[in-house]
Every structure is written in C-alpha cells, then in structure tokens.
Amino acid sequence: MKSLLDRLIPSNRQGVLSMMLQLVSLFRQISEYDAFLGPSRYLTHRDDTTDIIKSIWRKWDVSSDSALPDGVERGWGEWRGSSNLVWVKTGNLYNSSTV
C-alpha cells in the first residue's frame, strides 16, 4: 500500500488522504450503496479504484501517514457516517498513543 501512496503527488499527501476519509464518511451518510464509489470517482475519476480506496480507508493511519498495525482496522461506528479504529479480534477501540 505504501508504494501506491508514494506515487501520489507528495506535496500534500496527508491532506488528500484526510479529504478521502471525509468523503467516504460523507458518502456513507448520504448513500445507501457503496460509500467508496463516490470518493473513487471524485479522487481518481475512475470506478475501478473503489477497492484501492476501500483498502486505504480500512488499513491506513492518516494522522501518522503509515499503515495501521497488524490486527487493527477502521470500521464503521454506530453513527452512520462515523468510523473507528478497532482491534479486529477483540473489537476494542485502538488508540495509537497507548501502543
């Protein structure tokens, strides 16, 4: 995944990734279908990048610009547009400052 992100324009990569997370949350709120299709169209102008956008959303820590640790993934929260970082095996919330 890091090699894919290294291909993006490096000047504002963290800003683009943060915007991507916000777009996914927005489309999750307004769409009954795929929350990743809209951001894929807006950011890449292609429909076939939906799985890439989904993988980055699920396994990338935007704040530290690095992959999440093994066993941690982003998942949907209780509120329709919210997401949380959780340990997959336990379901407990992940906090990067305590690891």
- Can you give the pLDDT at residue 3? 59
Tell whether the model's pLDDT for residue 72 goes beyond 90: yes
Q: Show me where the domains of the chain are located.
A: 2-98
Tell whether the model's pLDDT for residue 1 goes beyond 60: no
Pick the more confident residue, 99 or 80: 80
Conformational region of residue 98, where left means phi above 0, alpha means psi within -120 to 50, and beta covers everything else: alpha
Condensed to tens digits (0 to 9), the pLDDT of residues 21-59 reads 999 999 988 876 788 998 898 888 888 999 999 999 999
Tell whether the model's pLDDT for residue 61 goes beyond 80: yes
Tell whether the model's pLDDT for residue 76 goes beyond 90: no
Unique residue bearing structure tokens 């927005």: 26
**Stated pTM of the model:** 0.76
